[in-house]
């Protein structure tokens, strides 16, 4: 009896921690930081904890702002997440405040070219959630523009985790290595974001938000994901030497991610999306860091 009660208490505790990490957007922020750190590994650059921390706090700020603005509409997608956000709106607001304060302090330690680059990403990120154009009857955000949502997400993630650290290190963002890595990162984020549009398929249609699954259907969206991953693999084959750990890390990551994406159903629990799908970024980082160290 006591062991059963202890087990239930432990499960409840783990559930609370998991909800905090996922619904509080700490997990996705960790994913962003790891992807940026992965860039240093892939380009054989000395890692910078400063820019890694910027990736974490900027993601925490952006995602929490988005959830706070749209939390009343989240119930159309996932009632459990909406209940958690309603109860912990204060915590998300604190996260936004702390993140903003940290980013403001960081401004004084960033070179002008990097600052300008980060600035344009910030404008896109904020305009993604907050009204861009005001009208008498409705407001417009970048995410509401037909078919633009997923491309904005992929671009901001790829630019912030690839181009930003390269600029900070004085590398040309137009060099072959950086461009190829940017394309890889863009494709990867594009692929793992498609399932979120599949999840939101019905609610997006009801809200008159045009997404790729809404325009071409769920089955064709999955076919598109497969096609993009094939391109990702081809680039990896051309980009990395066959006998290196990084090459095999990219291939294994691609295959495992594609399987998870293809198995996506709109009825899956939120953990499948913001846990497992976002977790493919963690898997990729672990594979790159681990195999690069031993092969």
Tell me whether strands 133-134 and 139-140 are parallel, antiparallel or unpaired.
Answer: antiparallel
147: Cα separation from own chain's centroid: 18
pLDDT tens for the 295 residues of the chain, in order: 667 777 777 888 899 999 999 999 999 999 999 999 999 999 999 999 999 999 999 999 999 988 887 765 655 555 688 889 888 999 999 999 999 999 999 999 999 999 999 999 988 887 776 665 555 455 567 766 766 888 999 999 999 999 999 999 999 999 999 999 999 999 999 999 999 888 877 666 655 667 888 788 888 988 999 999 999 999 999 999 988 999 999 999 999 999 999 888 877 888 999 899 999 999 999 999 999 999 8
- Quote the crossing angle between the two packed helices 245-262 and 218-239, to the nearest 10°: 180
Q: Are 164 and 118 in contact (CB under 8 A)?
A: yes
204 exposed, middle or buried (CB, 10 Å; 0-12, 13-18, 19+)?
A: buried
> What are 77's two structure tokens?
């997608």
**13 vs 7: CA distance, rounded Å:** 10
Q: Specify the pLDDT at position 285.
A: 98
Residue linked to tokens 């009825």? 267
Phi and psi, residue 266, nearest 5°: -65, -15
**141 vs 209: CA distance, rounded Å:** 11
Q: Specify the pLDDT at position 115.
A: 94
Phi and psi, residue 172, nearest 5°: -75, 130
Cite the beta strand spans of the chain per DSSP E.
133-134, 139-140
Q: Specify the pLDDT at position 215.
A: 83
224-248 per-residue burial string, b: 16 or more CB within 10 A, e: under 16: bbeebbeebbebbeebbeeeebbbb
Q: Are 103 and 58 in contact (CB under 8 A)?
A: yes
**20 vs 152: CA distance, rounded Å:** 26
Q: Specify the pLDDT at position 75.
A: 52
> What are 39's two structure tokens?
């860039």
**293 vs 104: CA distance, rounded Å:** 36
**241 vs 295: CA distance, rounded Å:** 12
Q: What is the C-alpha R_g of the chain?
A: 20
Q: Specify the pLDDT at position 225.
A: 92
Q: Specify the pLDDT at position 72.
A: 59
Q: Specify the pLDDT at position 213.
A: 84
DSSP annotation of 143: G
DSSP annotation of 122: H
**267 vs 240: CA distance, rounded Å:** 38
Q: Are 133 and 140 in contact (CB under 8 A)?
A: yes
């Amino acid at each position: 009896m006591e062991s059963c009660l202890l087990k239930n208490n432990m499960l409840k505790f783990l559930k609370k921690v998991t909800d905090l990490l996922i619904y509080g957007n700490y997990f996705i922020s960790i994913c962003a930081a790891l992807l940026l750190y992965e860039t240093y590994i892939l380009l054989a650059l000395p890692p910078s904890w400063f820019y890694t921390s910027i990736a974490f706090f900027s993601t925490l700020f952006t995602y929490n702002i988005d959830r706070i603005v749209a939390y009343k509409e989240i119930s159309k997608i996932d009632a459990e997440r909406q209940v958690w956000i309603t109860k912990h709106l204060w915590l998300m607001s604190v996260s936004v405040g702390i993140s903003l304060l940290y980013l403001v302090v960081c401004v004084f330690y960033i070179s002008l070219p990097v600052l300008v680059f980060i600035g344009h990403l910030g404008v896109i990120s904020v305009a993604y959630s907050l009204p861009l154009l005001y009208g008498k009857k409705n407001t417009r955000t970048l995410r509401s523009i037909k078919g633009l949502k997923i491309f904005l997400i992929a671009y901001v993630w790829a630019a912030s985790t690839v181009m930003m650290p390269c600029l900070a290190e004085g590398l040309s963002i137009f060099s072959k290595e950086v461009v190829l890595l940017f394309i890889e990162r863009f494709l990867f984020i594009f692929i793992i974001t498609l399932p979120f549009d599949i999840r939101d398929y019905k609610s997006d249609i009801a809200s008159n938000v045009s997404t790729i699954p809404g325009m071409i259907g769920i089955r064709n969206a999955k076919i598109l994901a497969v096609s993009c991953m094939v391109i990702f693999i081809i680039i990896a084959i051309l980009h990395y030497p066959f006998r290196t750990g990084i090459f095999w890390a990219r291939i294994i990551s691609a295959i495992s991610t594609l399987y998870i994406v293809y198995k996506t159903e709109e009825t899956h629990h939120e953990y499948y999306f913001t846990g497992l799908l976002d977790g493919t970024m963690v898997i990729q980082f672990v594979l790159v860091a681990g195999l690069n160290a031993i092969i």
